[in-house]
C-alpha cells in the first residue's frame, strides 16, 4: 500500500499512512528529520505531479519490526533505492 501510494497518491495521502507523531529522516538530503504528518507531507510534496514508479526489492520482518528496500524512479530518469524501517 505504501509503495502504491508513493507512486500514485498525494503527499497528504502518503503522510496519512504514518502515525501522527512519526518521524522521517532523509540522511542524503542533509539529515533533516521531519516530525509529524504535516512535516512528512511537506517532504513528499516535492514529488507531487512527477511521474513516479516504485518497485519492492527486498523485505524482512520479525516480530513487530520490518525493513524493506525499494526502488523509486522519478520522471523516468532518477532512480534511488531507499531503506525503510
Report the CATH number that the domain containing residue 76 is assigned in CATH: 3.10.450.50
The total domain count for the chain is 1
Query: Looking at the predicted structure, is the pLDDT value of residue 56 above 80?
Result: yes
How far, in Å, CA of 77 to CA of 69, rounded?
A: 19
**In this structure, are residues 54 and 6 in contact, taking their beta carbons and an 8 Å threshold?**
yes
The domain containing residue 60 runs over which residues?
2-84
- Quickly tell me which residue has 503527499 as its cell: 11
Q: Which residues pair with 83 in a beta bridge?
A: 69
Instruction: Pick the range with the lowest mean pLDDT from 4-8, 9-13, 81-85.
Output: 81-85
Per-residue model confidence (pLDDT) at position 13: 98
Is residue 44 flagged as an active site residue?
no
Catalytic residue among 8, 12, 18, 26: 26
Of 2, 12, 13, 18, the active-site residue reads: 2
8 is catalytic: no
pTM, whole model, 2 decimals? 0.85
C-beta of residue 11 within 8 angstroms of C-beta of residue 48:
yes
Amino acid at each position: 500500500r505504501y509503495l502504491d501510494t508513493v507512486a500514485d497518491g498525494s503527499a497528504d495521502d502518503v503522510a496519512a499512512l504514518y502515525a501522527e507523531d512519526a518521524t522521517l529522516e532523509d540522511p542524503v538530503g542533509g539529515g533533516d528529520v521531519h516530525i509529524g504528518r504535516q512535516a512528512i507531507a511537506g517532504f513528499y510534496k516535492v514529488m507531487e505531479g512527477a511521474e513516479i514508479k516504485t518497485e519492492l526489492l527486498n523485505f524482512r520482518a520479525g516480530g513487530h519490526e520490518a525493513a524493506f528496500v525499494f526502488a523509486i524512479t522519478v520522471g523516468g530518469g532518477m532512480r534511488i533505492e531507499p531503506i525503510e524501517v
